[in-house]
Structure 1
Amino acid sequence: MRYERSDLMIGTVQEGLQALVDSRHGDPFSILGRHQYGDLVVVRALLPGALGVQVVEADTGRLLAELEPIHEGGLFAGVTGSTGPYFYRITWPDAVQEMEDPYSFGPLLGDLDLHLIGQGTHYDLGRTLGAIPMEVDGISGVRFAVWAPNARRVSVVGDFNAWDGRRHPMRLRPQAGIWELFLPRLTHGERYKFEIIDGNGNLLPQKADPVARASEAAPSTASIVASSKPFRWNDEEWMRSQRQVRSGETAISVYEVHLGSWVRIPEEGNRSLDWVELSQRLVPYVKSLGFTHIEMLPIMEHPFGGSWGYQPLGLFAPTGRYGTPEDFAYFIDRCHQAGIGVILDWVPAHFPTDVWGLAKFDGTPLYEHADPREGFHKDWNTLIYNLGRNEVKGFLIASALEWLEHYHVDALRVDAVASMLYRDYSRNAGEWIPNKYGGRENLESVEFFKHLNSIVHERCPHAFTVAEESTAWPGVTKPPEEGGLGFDFKWNMGWMHDTLHYMSDDPVYRKYQYGGMTFGMIYAYSERFMLPISHDEVVHGKGSLLGKMPGDPWQKLANLRAYFGFMWGHPGKKLLFMGCELAQETEWNHDGSVVWDLLDQPGHAGMQRLIRDLNALYAKEPALQFGDLHPEGFEWAVADDAENSVYGMLRSAQDQSSRMLVVSSMTPVPRENYRIGVPNEGRWEVVLNTDAEIYGGSNFGQTEAWAEPQPSHGKPFSISLMLPPLATVFLRWRG
Structure 2
Amino acid sequence: MAETTLIPEAIHALAEGRHGDPFAVLGPHDTPAGRVVRAMLPGAVSVAALAPDGTAHRLAPLHAAGLFEGPVPAGGRYLLRIDWGGAVEEVEDPYSFGRLLGELDIHLLREGTHRDIARCLGAHPMEVDGVQGVRFAVWAPNARRVSVVGDFNNWDGRRAPMRLRQECGVWEIFLPRLGPGAVYKFELLDPNGSLLPLKADPVAWQAEPAPATGSVVADTAAIRVAPRPIPPGDPAAQPISVYEVHAASWMRGEDNLPLSWEELGDKLIPYVKEMGFTHVEFLPVMAHPFGGSWGYQPLGQFAPQGALGPPEHFARLVERFHEAGIGVILDWVPAHFPTDTHGLAHFDGTALYEHTDPREGFHQDWNTLIYNLGRREVRNFMIGSALHWLEHYGVDALRVDAVASMLYRDYSRKEGEWVPNIHGGRENLENISFLQELSNVVAERCPGKLLIAEESTAFPGVTRKAHEGGLGFDFKWNMGWMHDTLHYMERDPIYRQYQHGGMTFGMVYAYSERFMLPLSHDEVVHGKGSLIGKMPGDDWQKFANLRAYLAFMWTHPGKKLLFMGGEIGQWREWSHDRSLDWHLLDEPRHAGLQRMLRDLNRLYARTPALHALDCDPAGFRWVVMDDAANSVLAFLRLGPEGSSPVLVVCNMTPVSRSGYRLGAPAGGAWREVFNSDAAIYGGANGGNGGRVQAQEMESHGLDASLVLELPALSTLVLTPEE
TM-score by length of 1: 0.97
What is the deviation of 1:587?
A: 0.8
The correspondence for 1:126, drawn from 93, 118, 124, is 118
What is the CA–CA distance in structure 2 between the aligned matches of 1:719 and 1:206, rounded to whole Å? 72
What is the deviation of 1:242?
A: 3.6
Letter in 2 for 1:97: E
Is the contact made by 2:224 and 2:393 (CA closer than 8 Å) also made in structure 1?
Answer: no
Which residue pairs with 1:342 in the alignment?
328
Runs of 4 or more off by more than 6 Å in structure 1? none
What is the deviation of 1:240?
A: 2.6
The correspondence for 1:54, drawn from 28, 45, 48, is 48
The correspondence for 2:289, drawn from 286, 289, 303, is 303
**Are residue 322 (structure 1) and residue 308 (structure 2) matched?**
yes
Deviation track 1:156-183 (CA, whole Å, cap 9, x = no partner) reads 0011001110101000111100100010
**Are residue 108 (structure 1) and residue 100 (structure 2) matched?**
yes
The correspondence for 1:138, drawn from 105, 124, 130, is 130
Unaligned runs of 5+ in 1: none
Deviation track 1:654-707 (CA, whole Å, cap 9, x = no partner) reads 115311001000001111110010111111100010000000000011111211
Is the contact made by 2:355 and 2:371 (CA closer than 8 Å) also made in structure 1?
Answer: yes
What is the deviation of 1:62?
A: 2.1
Which residue pairs with 1:147 in the alignment?
139
What is the CA–CA distance in structure 1 between the aligned matches of 2:267 and 2:587, rounded to whole Å? 21
What is the deviation of 1:243?
A: 4.8
Which residue pairs with 1:43 in the alignment?
37
What is the deviation of 1:716?
A: 1.3
What is the CA–CA distance in structure 1 between the aligned matches of 2:231 and 2:218, rounded to whole Å? 29
Which residue pairs with 1:691 in the alignment?
677
Deviation track 1:567-591 (CA, whole Å, cap 9, x = no partner) reads 0110000000000000111110111
Is the contact made by 2:276 and 2:598 (CA closer than 8 Å) also made in structure 1?
Answer: yes
Letter in 1 for 2:694: A
What is the deviation of 1:367?
A: 0.1
What is the CA–CA distance in structure 2 between the aligned matches of 1:369 and 1:664, rounded to whole Å? 51
The correspondence for 2:356, drawn from 359, 365, 370, is 370
Which residue pairs with 1:258 in the alignment?
246
Which residue pairs with 2:194 in the alignment?
202
Is the contact made by 1:243 and 1:463 (CA closer than 8 Å) also made in structure 2?
Answer: no
Which residue pairs with 1:712 in the alignment?
699
What is the CA–CA distance in structure 2 between the aligned matches of 1:682 and 1:448, rounded to whole Å? 55
Is the contact made by 1:647 and 1:663 (CA closer than 8 Å) also made in structure 2?
Answer: yes
Is the contact made by 2:237 and 2:613 (CA closer than 8 Å) also made in structure 1?
Answer: no
The CA RMSD measured in Å over matched residues stands at 1.1
Is the contact made by 2:404 and 2:455 (CA closer than 8 Å) also made in structure 1?
Answer: yes
Deviation track 1:512-535 (CA, whole Å, cap 9, x = no partner) reads 000100000000000000000000
Which residue pairs with 2:27 in the alignment?
33
Which residue pairs with 1:93 in the alignment?
85
Which residue pairs with 2:713 in the alignment?
726
What is the deviation of 1:137?
A: 0.7
The correspondence for 2:230, drawn from 241, 244, 247, is 241
What is the CA–CA distance in structure 2 between the aligned matches of 1:466 and 1:614, rounded to whole Å? 23
Letter in 1 for 2:28: R
**Are residue 18 (structure 1) and residue 6 (structure 2) matched?**
no
Q: Tell me the matched-pair count.
A: 721
Deviation track 1:272-331 (CA, whole Å, cap 9, x = no partner) reads 111111111000000000000000000000000000000000000011111011100110
Letter in 1 for 2:74: S
Is the contact made by 1:240 and 1:462 (CA closer than 8 Å) also made in structure 2?
Answer: no
Unaligned runs of 5+ in 2: none
What is the CA–CA distance in structure 1 between the aligned matches of 2:483 and 2:85, rounded to whole Å? 67
What is the CA–CA distance in structure 2 between the aligned matches of 1:471 and 1:500, rounded to whole Å? 18
**Aligned-residue identity in percent:** 63
Is the contact made by 1:255 and 1:295 (CA closer than 8 Å) also made in structure 2?
Answer: yes
Which residue pairs with 1:533 in the alignment?
519
What is the deviation of 1:719?
A: 0.5
What is the deviation of 1:132?
A: 0.8
What is the deviation of 1:232?
A: 7.1
Letter in 2 for 1:715: L
The 1:243–1:463 alpha-carbon spacing in structure 2 relative to 1, beyond 3 Å, is farther
What is the CA–CA distance in structure 2 between the aligned matches of 1:92 and 1:625, rounded to whole Å? 69
Letter in 2 for 1:299: V
**Are residue 609 (structure 1) and residue 603 (structure 2) matched?**
no
Letter in 2 for 1:91: D
Deviation track 1:460-497 (CA, whole Å, cap 9, x = no partner) reads 11310100000000000000111100000000000000
Letter in 1 for 2:682: G
Which residue pairs with 1:660 in the alignment?
646
What is the CA–CA distance in structure 2 between the aligned matches of 1:418 and 1:428, rounded to whole Å? 16
The correspondence for 2:70, drawn from 68, 78, 88, is 78
Is the contact made by 1:243 and 1:461 (CA closer than 8 Å) also made in structure 2?
Answer: no
Which residue pairs with 2:273 in the alignment?
287
What is the CA–CA distance in structure 2 between the aligned matches of 1:463 and 1:60, rounded to whole Å? 56
**Are residue 498 (structure 1) and residue 490 (structure 2) matched?**
no
What is the deviation of 1:436?
A: 0.3
What is the CA–CA distance in structure 2 between the aligned matches of 1:191 and 1:212, rounded to whole Å? 11
TM-score by length of 2: 0.99
What is the deviation of 1:459?
A: 0.5
What is the CA–CA distance in structure 1 between the aligned matches of 2:550 and 2:566, rounded to whole Å? 10
What is the deviation of 1:38?
A: 4.2
What is the CA–CA distance in structure 2 between the aligned matches of 1:589 and 1:319, rounded to whole Å? 18
What is the CA–CA distance in structure 1 between the aligned matches of 2:573 and 2:71, rounded to whole Å? 72
Is the contact made by 1:569 and 1:649 (CA closer than 8 Å) also made in structure 2?
Answer: no
Deviation track 1:102-138 (CA, whole Å, cap 9, x = no partner) reads 0011111112211211211101111110101111111
Letter in 2 for 1:62: T
The secondary structure found in structure 1 opposite 2:152 is: helix
Letter in 1 for 2:13: A
What is the deviation of 1:191?
A: 0.5
Which residue pairs with 1:524 in the alignment?
510
The 1:52–1:39 alpha-carbon spacing in structure 2 relative to 1, beyond 3 Å, is closer
What is the CA–CA distance in structure 1 between the aligned matches of 2:50 and 2:127, rounded to whole Å? 20
**Are residue 596 (structure 1) and residue 596 (structure 2) matched?**
no
Letter in 1 for 2:55: R
Deviation track 1:404-431 (CA, whole Å, cap 9, x = no partner) reads 0000000000000000000000000000
What is the CA–CA distance in structure 2 between the aligned matches of 1:401 and 1:664, rounded to whole Å? 43
Is the contact made by 2:361 and 2:369 (CA closer than 8 Å) also made in structure 1?
Answer: yes
Is the contact made by 2:236 and 2:613 (CA closer than 8 Å) also made in structure 1?
Answer: no
What is the CA–CA distance in structure 1 between the aligned matches of 2:209 and 2:403, rounded to whole Å? 28
The secondary structure found in structure 1 opposite 2:426 is: coil
Which residue pairs with 2:470 in the alignment?
484
Letter in 1 for 2:175: L
Is the contact made by 1:275 and 1:331 (CA closer than 8 Å) also made in structure 2?
Answer: yes
What is the CA–CA distance in structure 2 between the aligned matches of 1:546 and 1:191, rounded to whole Å? 45
What is the deviation of 1:5?
A: 4.0
The 1:631–1:656 alpha-carbon spacing in structure 2 relative to 1, beyond 3 Å, is farther
Which residue pairs with 1:550 in the alignment?
536
Which residue pairs with 2:457 in the alignment?
471
The secondary structure found in structure 2 opposite 1:133 is: strand
What is the CA–CA distance in structure 2 between the aligned matches of 1:414 and 1:117, rounded to whole Å? 24
Superposition pairs of residues 159-238 of structure 1, within 5 angstroms: 159-231=151-223, 233=225
What is the CA–CA distance in structure 1 between the aligned matches of 2:175 and 2:247, rounded to whole Å? 36
Superposition pairs of residues 409-424 of structure 1, within 5 angstroms: 409-424=395-410
